[in-house]
Amino acid sequence: MRTCKVAFVTTVICFCLVASSSYGADVAKIGIVDFQRILKTSSAGKKATAEINKRGKKIEVDLQKRGEEIEATKNKLEREVLVMSREMREDKEREIRININDFKGLQKRYVAEFKEQEKRLVGRIQEEILKIIAEMGKKEGFLLILEKREAGVMYSPNTIDITDRLIQKYNTNFARNAEEDKKTKKK
């Protein structure tokens, strides 16, 4: 009786080992992508960042110029307030308030335009990257590819980080598309 139990347990253990080894043959392939690094180091990311910075500097210069004009008008009013009539002073103060409100409205509009441009440029890059990730995932048999920060990945070994390979493919596609755009513009 005891030998039967030992034989049965041994058979069950052997069966489990054989079954688990057959399932263990398929290793889950997981990849990690760092989108921020793609934005910083890819050709398209650098171009988009330069475009965003250029627009930001232009906005900053324009707002600074308008702010200085308002300050100059305020200073002029303070110097001439004693020699102005009451009505003239009130007109100038109203003009300054209108200019300040216009400045605030312009500032809000610029911020909205800036954010929209940034969203558009980064969104376009994300779309292109997602296509490459899907292609890479199917071709190389990945079970799962996660974005490092969005997925909340706290640690991952460098061996599953596919960002550099993705950047190389993206730069190749970007260069090819840029050449095609130049050719179509010449025609």
pLDDT recorded at residue 28: 79
The rounded distance, in Å, linking the Cα atoms of 132 and 72 is: 54
Query: Model pTM?
Result: 0.67
- Residues in the chain with pLDDT < 50? 1, 4-12, 14-25
pLDDT recorded at residue 187: 62
pLDDT recorded at residue 2: 52
Q: How would you write the chain as a 3-class SS string? A: CHHHHHHHHHHHHHHHHHHHHHHHCCCCCEEEECHHHHHHHCHHHHHHHHHHHHHHHHHHHHHHHHHHHHHHHHHHHHHHCCCCCHHHHHHHHHHHHHHHHHHHHHHHHHHHHHHHHHHHHHHHHHHHHHHHHHHHHHHHCCCEEEECCCCCCCCCCHHHECHHHHHHHHHHHHHHHHHHHHHHHHC
Domain definitions of the chain by residue range: 2-186
Q: Is residue 100 exposed (0-12), middle (13-18) or buried (19+ Cβ within 10 Å)? A: middle
pLDDT recorded at residue 85: 85
Q: Which amino acid appears at position 12 of this protein?
A: V
Q: What is the pLDDT of residues 59-68, one digit of tens each?
A: 999 999 999 9
The rounded distance, in Å, linking the Cα atoms of 58 and 174 is: 27
Q: Is residue 185 exposed (0-12), middle (13-18) or buried (19+ Cβ within 10 Å)? A: exposed
pLDDT recorded at residue 24: 47
pLDDT recorded at residue 6: 39
The rounded distance, in Å, linking the Cα atoms of 120 and 37 is: 18
